[in-house]
Chains A and B, each alone.
Chain A
């Protein structure tokens, strides 16, 4: 099996409009994107479609986009597309794991919907205030939608320990927002 290309090489293929870029992306990050999409959608066909759309979006975006981290760039696209797809299909099939995540976050963030645009900057500040392990855990759970069970394996600990850690972080978030005038 040929060795996988580096991110720089793959981006170079995109810049050269060489369609090998998509294959190289699929080879290197296909599983990762599928995993991310599947954790949100819990449906293989839907996840596959989102991942394919991710490649197309990457193809249309690079150039001019110059991602610092190709993996993070792809993750952002996959996540967004998957959430869009999830909303489209939500009435028909729900991903209970994801719905639980929604509820957890909803309980922690009391900002009105019409002020949602303020949230990314607040989250940036909050996340930077956390220690790296907690920040990473929070993002793995809510940005990457990784199930608690998987996180427990990643961290080499129990599900309960993960749940408690994330719960504490959510409490910190609630306090953080409260201190900034967002009443719980």
Chain B
């Protein structure tokens, strides 16, 4: 089974199992991790956090803890040496902090005292406002959800917890939650403490090993090839703090500037893939990686030698694209799933490709008449032959799909198949009609999570005619009755007192289904207690009906009726087994049913008709059974 499908189905397991696996509210972590490098990539430069930290911390001091101390006692822990009587001075927002910061960490009985203040000097501007914002919970920076720090810091008996899920909060000695900080403030304070611990360092250690190592096979490649490089970080302990990769690229320098081959969009963990464009200069390239670091600012690491030579192609690569026209409907409606098999054929020099399916398939984009584009999802990737590193020439195929959402405009759509600057447009491959056509007798299903909602079809002609949906184990199903007025309907969702339209308009046609009902029961004579066996068929003689199986099925029934109508007997049957599929177009034979039952002892003697019913339509087969007295 496809992994993504497994993932989806995993989402449907018992919620109780999920609930018990929720992340702990407060993971226990030791104080050592305070000095561990954050391992998750952060989207913003850390130096911003450092400045922010200085501002906040200095702000805390400038107001003498007046606001914050009353909340949590935090300052009492962080600033035990703050001179009394400084509150008035803090009214001047430009007053620099002159005191000393002392932070005490407790670690397994060992007390570590950190002192320092120099980096706070001269940062008085706007500090009070910032503090007030933090203290009042206003205008706080957005929490950074990508942080994975999990620290516990004991400050003067109070604990500061930093947690990736809930940000940072302060507990008092009774471990009661006092006050909560947002994640960014937590990060800022952590950074301050780290800087106190490690000291101010702005330059890389001179004798340290390189920050990273490039692992590659020096190669000569053509335009259209790919080239891969693994980046291995130096974990020897030469550096303090963490490094975050900002950019990695191949380059060469000439008098007119620097030419860069960017990293391909999709990286394989620590392996970076470069696609060599068709216009890449024929040249020798080196590699460069740019980092941001906690303690050393921006750091650049270059390779000493040429890693790649781009050589001239004998034949420049060309690509042709195609898609499986057989599978494409020309008129589609909202909610329809479009699925195409698209292919890309490469010609030219044999090309060197990274043999993983993240690189070598084309993208498929739908474009409306008004220019909106919709990227189709690739759900499967197939390749002629195995996925190999040396692709050579050949055809790559992939299956793409997209569900037509009701936000997509009506009209004709082009299909654009593209790969790295090469593209081919297939014009007007289908048209979104904007409404879903339903015939009477059809059924329409909605798979929704919210069982409690209500849905109905409502005629737009003002007649107030409505067709309800019924909840049926994971689905809402509406059955279009044979007497539904033809016309345009809206699918309405009812939430409380609010009605809202979903999924565009629906057109119910004036096509009324005609079922041909027949039975294998031949004229026969029987007595009470005899077994009766027959089967019935129902044929749809009209338009193919789009029905939602198995929630809607063409159940049929059969009933014996005495000549005068005074006695009826429901035949007992079993519908044929149907595969649990969703939508299908029902035409031709839509129902087959076996009946096997015994005539009851008290059935009156006489002649009986067999009345067959399917979706409200009936057929009577007269005089099919004669019951005689035993």
The chain B residue sitting closest to A147, CB to CB, is: B40
Q: Tell whether, in the assembled complex, residue B183 and residue A139 are in contact, meaning their CB atoms are under 8 Å apart.
A: no
The chain B residue sitting closest to A142, CB to CB, is: B10
> Which residues, 10 to 57 on B, are CB-close (under 8 Å) to A?
10-24, 27, 29, 33, 39-40, 43
Question: Which chain B residues border A76 with CB–CB below 8 Å?
Answer: 11, 15, 18, 449
Q: Tell whether, in the assembled complex, residue B11 and residue A73 are in contact, meaning their CB atoms are under 8 Å apart.
A: no
Question: Which chain A residues border B265 with CB–CB below 8 Å?
Answer: 92-93
Interface string of A131-148 (1 = CB under 8 A from B): 010011001101110000
Identify which of A65, A132, A142 contacts B452 (C-beta below 8 A). Answer: A65
Question: Which chain A residues border B182 with CB–CB below 8 Å?
Answer: 1
Interface string of B164-187 (1 = CB under 8 A from A): 111100000000010111110000
Bound form: Cα–Cα A113–B22 in Å? 28
Q: Tell whether, in the assembled complex, residue B15 and residue A69 are in contact, meaning their CB atoms are under 8 Å apart.
A: yes
Q: Tell whether, in the assembled complex, residue B39 and residue A104 are in contact, meaning their CB atoms are under 8 Å apart.
A: no
Given A1-B179, A65-B450, A154-B23: A96 in contact with B268 (beta carbons within 8 A) = yes
Identify which of A2, A17, A106 contacts B1 (C-beta below 8 A). Answer: A106
Q: Tell whether, in the assembled complex, residue A113 and residue B145 are in contact, meaning their CB atoms are under 8 Å apart.
A: no
> Which residues, 105 to 129 on A, are CB-close (under 8 Å) to B?
105-106, 109-113, 116-117, 119-120, 123-124, 127-128
- Judge whether A31 is part of the interface by a CB distance below 8 angstroms: yes
Q: Which of B73-81, B371-379, B532-540 contacts A (4 or more CB under 8 A)?
A: B371-379
Bound form: Cα–Cα A119–B12 in Å? 9
Interface string of A20-38 (1 = CB under 8 A from B): 0000000000111011001
The chain A residue sitting closest to B41, CB to CB, is: A42
Q: Tell whether, in the assembled complex, residue A140 and residue B148 are in contact, meaning their CB atoms are under 8 Å apart.
A: no
Least distance between A101 CB and chain B CB atoms (Å): 7
Interface string of A68-88 (1 = CB under 8 A from B): 110111011101100100111
Most buried by A among B12, B267, B451: B12
The chain B residue sitting closest to A84, CB to CB, is: B8
- Judge whether A165 is part of the interface by a CB distance below 8 angstroms: no
Interface string of B260-291 (1 = CB under 8 A from A): 00000111110000000000000000000000
Task: Determine the interface band of chain A, counting residues with CB < 8 A from chain B.
Answer: 35 or more
Identify which of A30, A87, A90, A140 contacts B143 (C-beta below 8 A). Answer: A30
Question: Which chain B residues border A109 with CB–CB below 8 Å?
Answer: 1, 6
Given A90-B378, A96-B267: A139 in contact with B23 (beta carbons within 8 A) = no
- Judge whether A103 is part of the interface by a CB distance below 8 angstroms: yes
> Which residues, 446 to 488 on B, are CB-close (under 8 Å) to A?
449-453
Bound form: Cα–Cα A121–B179 in Å? 43
Least distance between B330 CB and chain A CB atoms (Å): 24
- Judge whether B3 is part of the interface by a CB distance below 8 angstroms: yes
Q: Tell whether, in the assembled complex, residue B39 and residue A31 are in contact, meaning their CB atoms are under 8 Å apart.
A: no
Q: Tell whether, in the assembled complex, residue B13 and residue A110 are in contact, meaning their CB atoms are under 8 Å apart.
A: no
Main secondary structure of the interface of A (DSSP, over half): helix
Q: Tell whether, in the assembled complex, residue A83 and residue B179 are in contact, meaning their CB atoms are under 8 Å apart.
A: no
Question: Which chain B residues border A72 with CB–CB below 8 Å?
Answer: 15, 18-19, 22
> Which residues, 61 to 94 on B, are CB-close (under 8 Å) to A?
none
Identify which of A91, A99, A103, A154 contacts B27 (C-beta below 8 A). Answer: A154
- Judge whether A89 is part of the interface by a CB distance below 8 angstroms: yes
- Judge whether B146 is part of the interface by a CB distance below 8 angstroms: yes
Q: Tell whether, in the assembled complex, residue A123 and residue B180 are in contact, meaning their CB atoms are under 8 Å apart.
A: no
Q: Tell whether, in the assembled complex, residue A31 and residue B137 are in contact, meaning their CB atoms are under 8 Å apart.
A: no
Least distance between A21 CB and chain B CB atoms (Å): 14
- Judge whether A9 is part of the interface by a CB distance below 8 angstroms: no
Q: Tell whether, in the assembled complex, residue A153 and residue B150 are in contact, meaning their CB atoms are under 8 Å apart.
A: yes
Q: Tell whether, in the assembled complex, residue B164 and residue A92 are in contact, meaning their CB atoms are under 8 Å apart.
A: no
Q: Tell whether, in the assembled complex, residue B6 and residue A105 are in contact, meaning their CB atoms are under 8 Å apart.
A: yes
Least distance between A91 CB and chain B CB atoms (Å): 4
- What is the number of contacts between chain A and chain B, taking CB atoms within 8 Å? 195
Question: Which chain A residues border B1 with CB–CB below 8 Å?
Answer: 106, 109-113, 116, 119
Bound form: Cα–Cα A171–B6 in Å? 16
Q: Tell whether, in the assembled complex, residue B376 and residue A91 are in contact, meaning their CB atoms are under 8 Å apart.
A: yes
The chain B residue sitting closest to A87, CB to CB, is: B377
Bound form: Cα–Cα A51–B177 in Å? 27
> Which residues, 356 to 391 on B, are CB-close (under 8 Å) to A?
358, 361, 363-364, 375-379
Bound form: Cα–Cα A93–B29 in Å? 34
Given A87-B377, A88-B375: A35 in contact with B164 (beta carbons within 8 A) = yes
Bound form: Cα–Cα A71–B166 in Å? 13
Bound form: Cα–Cα A136–B17 in Å? 8
Least distance between B361 CB and chain A CB atoms (Å): 8
The chain A residue sitting closest to B30, CB to CB, is: A156
Q: Tell whether, in the assembled complex, residue B4 and residue A83 are in contact, meaning their CB atoms are under 8 Å apart.
A: yes
Question: Which chain A residues border B400 with CB–CB below 8 Å?
Answer: 91
Bound form: Cα–Cα A6–B448 in Å? 27
Q: Tell whether, in the assembled complex, residue B148 and residue A150 are in contact, meaning their CB atoms are under 8 Å apart.
A: yes
Q: Tell whether, in the assembled complex, residue B165 and residue A32 are in contact, meaning their CB atoms are under 8 Å apart.
A: yes
- Judge whether B495 is part of the interface by a CB distance below 8 angstroms: yes
Least distance between A17 CB and chain B CB atoms (Å): 7
Identify which of A87, A94, A139 contacts B21 (C-beta below 8 A). Answer: A139
- Judge whether B2 is part of the interface by a CB distance below 8 angstroms: yes
Question: Which chain B residues border A127 with CB–CB below 8 Å?
Answer: 13-14, 17
> Which residues, 391 to 405 on B, are CB-close (under 8 Å) to A?
400, 402
> Which residues, 143 to 171 on A, are CB-close (under 8 Å) to B?
143-144, 149-150, 153-154
Interface string of B547-588 (1 = CB under 8 A from A): 000000000000000000000000000000000100000000
Least distance between B195 CB and chain A CB atoms (Å): 23
- Judge whether B616 is part of the interface by a CB distance below 8 angstroms: no
Q: Tell whether, in the assembled complex, residue B179 and residue A69 are in contact, meaning their CB atoms are under 8 Å apart.
A: no
Bound form: Cα–Cα A143–B12 in Å? 10
Least distance between A42 CB and chain B CB atoms (Å): 9
The chain B residue sitting closest to A111, CB to CB, is: B1
Q: Tell whether, in the assembled complex, residue A91 and residue B363 are in contact, meaning their CB atoms are under 8 Å apart.
A: yes
Given A119-B6, A143-B21: A79 in contact with B449 (beta carbons within 8 A) = no
The chain A residue sitting closest to B474, CB to CB, is: A117
Contacts A/B (CB < 8 Å), 17 sampled: A30-B143, A30-B145, A38-B146, A61-B449, A61-B450, A68-B16, A69-B22, A72-B19, A88-B402, A94-B358, A96-B269, A106-B1, A106-B3, A112-B1, A117-B580, A123-B10, A127-B13
Which A residues have a C-beta under 8 Å from some C-beta of B?
1-4, 17, 30-32, 34-35, 38, 44, 47, 60-61, 63-65, 68-69, 71-73, 75-77, 79-80, 83, 86-94, 96-97, 99, 101-106, 109-113, 116-117, 119-120, 123-124, 127-128, 132, 135-136, 139-140, 142-144, 149-150, 153-154
**Pairs of residues from A and B, 5 with the lowest C-beta to C-beta distance, nearest first:** A64-B452, A102-B3, A34-B145, A1-B137, A106-B3
Known: A32-B23, A80-B11, A99-B358. 11 other contacts (CB 8 A): A2-B137, A4-B180, A31-B167, A32-B165, A60-B450, A64-B450, A71-B22, A87-B4, A93-B265, A101-B3, A153-B33
